[in-house]
Structure 1
Amino acid sequence: MSSISSIAQSGMQAALQRQDAAANNIANQNTEGYRRERVDQQADSNGGTTTSVSRMPQPGSQLEQDMVDQISSSYSFQANLKTLKVHDQMMGSLLDVKV
């Protein structure tokens, strides 16, 4: 089983990939023939998450979906960052108790 910090870091990386894909989709929404990027997330067998980026089969924009993706990925990043901070504080407290 992976440590809490590596699970949180994989979640942060996944959120950043989703944020990047949504930003790319918004920036290119008026580009002729542009196909939206989609980030698929799967649970990793060792804990954490893995992602894969693919293109939608048909050109077109979905501005509302991209905006929602940006907001939700921001919340996901913040939640994983908080988990990482709490883990760091707990490890520091354990070291204080042992010393």
Structure 2
Amino acid sequence: MGNLITAASSGLQAAQLRLDSAAHNVANVNTGNFRRQEVVQTEAPGGAGVQASLRKADTPGVALEQEAVDQMAATYAFKANLQTLRTQDRMMGALLDVKA
């Protein structure tokens, strides 16, 4: 059960980083020679969740449509990870009911 919480928690943190990065990129859309931030996600050691980090894009410029898509994807990731936590909470409650 601990891995489930760890995976969902790391997913929530990655989604937050994605939202923060998109906001940073939109705020700098008119900055000359600005290179957008991109979020890179990799599997965490032991397969328990993800690790997210930032990197600079290869080419300068910001595409607002890409930032909107990234924000929507982060919103869906928040919802999915929250649902995982809720399901885990229900499973623990059911397990405690059986054991009691």
TM-score higher than 0.5: yes
Count of residues in Structure 1 that have an aligned counterpart in Structure 2: 99
Deviations 1:38-66 (A, max 9, x none): 00001113221001101123321111111
The corresponding residue for 1:51 is 52
Offset at residue 84 of structure 1 (A): 0.5
1:70 matched to 2:71? The reply is yes
Offset at residue 28 of structure 1 (A): 1.2
The corresponding residue for 2:94 is 93
1:32 matched to 2:32? The reply is yes
After superposition, the CA RMSD in angstroms is 1.5
Offset at residue 15 of structure 1 (A): 0.8
- Tell me the TM-score normalised to structure 2 length: 0.91
- Tell me the TM-score normalised to structure 1 length: 0.92
Aligned structure 1 segments of 4 or more residues deviating by more than 4 angstroms: none
Query: Which structure has more helix as a fraction of its residues?
Result: 2
1:73-84 residue pairs with structure 2 within 5 A? 73-84=74-85
Aligned-partner residue type, residue 43 of structure 2: A
Structure 1 stretch 15-24 or stretch 28-37: which is displaced more? 28-37
**Structure 2: any 5+ residue segments left out of the alignment?**
none
Measured in 2, the distance between the counterparts of 1:61 and 1:53 equals: 15
**Structure 1: any 5+ residue segments left out of the alignment?**
none
Identity in percent: 46
